[in-house]
Amino acid sequence: MIVLDQENKVFTLHTQNTTYQMKADSRRVLLHTYYGPRIGGGDLSRLIRYADRGFSPNPAEAGDDRTYSLDVLPQEYSGGGGGDFRLSAIQAELADGSQVVDLRFTGAEVRRGKYALEGLPAFFAGEEEAETLAVFLEDAVSHLRVELLYGVLEGCDLIARAVRVVNLGAEPVRLRQVASLCLDFQYAGLDLVTFDGRHAMERCPTRAPVRPGVQGVGSVRGASSHQHNPFVVLCEQDAGEDHGLCYGAMLLYSGNFKAEVERSQFDGVRLVMGIHPQHFCWTLEPGASFTAPEAALVCSPDGLGQMSRRFHRAIRAHLLRDPLEGRRKPVLINSWEAAYFGFDSEKLVRLAKEAAALGVELFVLDDGWFGERNDDRRGLGDWWVNEEKLPGGLEPLVERIRALGMEFGIWVEPEMVNEDSRLYREHPDWALVPAGRMPTRGRSQLVLDFSRAEVRDHIYEALRPVLSCPGLSYVKWDMNRSLTEVWSAALPPERQGEVYHRFVLGVYDLLERVRRDFPHLLVEGCCGGGGRFDGGMLYHTPQIWCSDNTDAVDRLRIQYGTSFCYPPCTMGAHVSKVPNEQTGRTVSLDTRGIVAMSGAFGYEMDLGELDGEEKEQVKEQTAFYMEHFELIQQGDHYRLSDPFQDGPYTAWAHVSPDGREALVCVVTGCVHAAAPFRALRLKGLDPRASYRVNGGEERWPGDVLMAAGYPLPMSMGDYRSMRLYLEAE
């Protein structure tokens, strides 16, 4: 619900459990007054106090009032160069070379439904589910107008934000920064949580107090990156899973980003989040507009767990565009670790037969099926079937796979090219490399200039026959290197600062074409695993390969960190062979299955190499996942322990929204002699209900399970697992 007090210029956004407010003051500066648990409203600008602060200058219209300074006021969207020395939300170079952006309020309006962003991902909602507040600011000298858009998804407790900049002046303006989010707090007792790591070990939580000065994370790799995720949390310093005030901020963008927090000299805290200003410069001609990516906010007064579940519900209902919505996703097997590049039709069919007999429903042919792609040094860009490996093309293979009762999927990497390819030999200028420079290679490949429509058109037309193959139902869309030497032959020198962003828009454009023409295809995103696991990609690919690291023990940490924002249904997770390819660790098939089953479930191994007992385990795993798919994928997710604490076990639960059904998963750590007895306290149950555990006769009251816990059996051996299925009676 949005409340407009036009007379006093107070604008209040209410979700079911939170309130957000801003006010344009007497000098038309848009102040941020409150964001937190839901309150009645009223003008909360009374919380803002004024004092004469040395070296904090005063705007001209303040006259002799030295207590009024932009440098200390909490602002809704900070300008630059006009007396606020904290982080700026917008930076621009005007026609005369000056870089002052002084934004003042000019109006506001409420619209039914949730706004949409042309060419960019955004949460969606019907007119009955959301409202939009549009607030207009303008620089009176340059006539640069900033439109702040707020989408209020009341039932999900989520507020989406976007920014559109319009040049109403007569001269071009060069935008150096346009943040999607600026959020001010008037107190400093907060921790910053970021989600960091590296390839094959992504999204590990890092928590530290907000210190004086600036701290933050970002990416200039051309993708949101394995190293830092475009999701951060600000929370009270004593906040935990079930208590404390927490704010989550998510950027729906798949390219260079920056999220910074500044604690000011007077202990205010400002969060600014958006496209990374490094390498960014956008020329805005008179009459033109620029739209920044969407950001989304969730506030939870009751801890990090509640914050996560609010994000999960909103993402599932209002961001994912899943072609299988309302239907169960198939259990898949991916050919990569079983075959790599060394396969032919007969080997693939043998792999599929073994999998089909064990309950697997979707066979995915990974890298190596196209061009002269017999290793990772050639062939990318040549999207025709290698008929030496697959005689007659894809169709005969797909027919044989489907005859086994399985669906068929395929791997592609459309954004990349090898120098040893027909495409590169014919169009070397289509790669992102400045003329005269030697290229930097990653995985022996270069990056195609997806900022150019003709490049995207060529790739799409090359892929169209493959995507049109009868029986194809799934595509894995990969990206296996970062962007370097980013320069486009199609843009003049003064517009090269637009290439990084235009590249991301080009990726979104091609994905949107695939969705338009092949709406039945389930597209799974990938970037060397989790290097582009963000809200922008989830809008186009409703599940993403969570990490190239399939080791079950490492995945406990990776999936734990990912869960702070992203729901389990978005995390591609497979059971792979042991010893594990990334770590050399050997973990039981039971444990590998329980960990992978808490995501979009599948296998990545030659199932024919298993013995009879192991094959029976796979049958049980696939059957159990199919039976409990809705609970795992659509239930509420509860983190019951922290795997980064190296405790005696890692535990988590999937709980139905009504609390009547739960699946609890436990994986032990390193076992020590004479270990103490443990009881696991559960969450999310109905305290008044009585539960049966794994179908046993004994009944457990819900309040007992949550307050006192469930006794865990003693474990012999490291990384053993157990699964508890609870059903209320």
| Cβ-Cβ contacts under 8 Å for 234 (sequence gap 6 or more) | 185, 190, 191, 192, 193, 210, 246, 247, 249, 261, 269, 271
Query: The domain that contains 64 carries what CATH number?
Result: 2.70.98.60
Total number of domains constituting the chain: 3
Does one domain contain both 314 and 452?
Answer: no
Q: Is position 198 within any domain?
A: yes
Does one domain contain both 164 and 28?
Answer: yes
Give 467's pLDDT tier (boundaries 50, 70, 90).
very high
pTM across the whole model: 0.97
The answer to which of 35-39, 144-148, 710-714 has the lowest mean pLDDT is 710-714
Give 675's pLDDT tier (boundaries 50, 70, 90).
confident
Q: What does the pLDDT look like over 520-574, one tens digit per residue?
A: 999 999 999 999 999 999 999 999 999 999 999 999 999 999 999 999 999 999 9
Q: Is position 192 within any domain?
A: yes
Residue 41, pLDDT > 80, answer no
Query: The domain that contains 345 carries what CATH number?
Result: 3.20.20.70
Q: What does the pLDDT look like over 97-156, one tens digit per residue?
A: 999 999 999 999 999 999 999 999 999 999 999 999 999 999 999 999 999 999 999 999
Give 646's pLDDT tier (boundaries 50, 70, 90).
confident
CA distance 719 to 716: 9
Which helix or strand (DSSP H or E) is residue 553 part of? Answer: helix 552-562
Task: Tell me the mean pLDDT in the region 381-390.
Answer: 97
* Of 283, 318, 353, the domain-final residue: 318
Does one domain contain both 644 and 629?
Answer: no
Q: Is position 133 within any domain?
A: yes
Does one domain contain both 13 and 108?
Answer: yes
| Cβ-Cβ contacts under 8 Å for 120 (sequence gap 6 or more) | 162, 252, 291, 293, 294, 505, 508, 536
Q: Which of 458, 463, 505, 19 is nearest to 292 (CA)?
A: 505
Q: Is position 468 within any domain?
A: yes
Does one domain contain both 314 and 353?
Answer: no
Q: Is position 208 within any domain?
A: yes
Q: How many other CB atoms are found less than 10 A from the CB of residue 98? A: 12
Q: What is the mean pLDDT of the chain?
A: 97
Task: Tell me the mean pLDDT in the region 397-404.
Answer: 98
CA distance 649 to 657: 25
Task: Tell me the mean pLDDT in the region 266-283.
Answer: 97
SS (H, E, C) 678-703: EEECCCCCCCCCEEEECCCCCEEEHH
pLDDT for res 715? 81
Q: What does the pLDDT look like over 192-206, one tens digit per residue?
A: 999 999 999 999 999
* Of 610, 634, 658, the domain-final residue: 634
CA distance 619 to 625: 10
693: β partners? 726
Q: What does the pLDDT look like over 567-588, one tens digit per residue?
A: 999 999 999 999 999 999 999 9
pLDDT for res 597? 97
Query: The domain that contains 711 carries what CATH number?
Result: 2.60.40.1180
Does one domain contain both 356 and 455?
Answer: yes
Residue 71, pLDDT > 80, answer yes
Q: What does the pLDDT look like over 281-314, one tens digit per residue?
A: 999 999 999 999 999 999 999 999 999 999 999 9
Does one domain contain both 592 and 646?
Answer: no
Does one domain contain both 211 and 285?
Answer: yes
Give 716's pLDDT tier (boundaries 50, 70, 90).
confident
pLDDT for res 59? 94
Q: Is position 326 within any domain?
A: no
Q: Is position 204 within any domain?
A: yes
pLDDT for res 610? 97
Q: Which residues are catalytic?
A: 534, 614
pLDDT for res 427? 97
| Cβ-Cβ contacts under 8 Å for 468 (sequence gap 6 or more) | 518
Does one domain contain both 65 and 98?
Answer: yes
pLDDT for res 700? 97
Tell me if residue 353 falls in helix, strand or coil. helix
CA distance 589 to 639: 23
For residue 123, the enclosing domain spans 2-318
10: β partners? 5, 23
Beta pairing class for 721-728 and 18-24: unpaired
CA distance 523 to 675: 46
Residue 29, pLDDT > 90, answer yes
CA distance 249 to 259: 9
Does one domain contain both 221 and 344?
Answer: no
Q: Which of 702, 697, 700 is nearest to 684 (CA)?
A: 702
Does one domain contain both 173 and 35?
Answer: yes
Does one domain contain both 469 and 573?
Answer: yes
Determine the length of the chain: 729
Q: How many other CB atoms are found less than 10 A from the CB of residue 690? A: 14
* Of 294, 318, 342, the domain-final residue: 318
Q: Is position 325 within any domain?
A: no
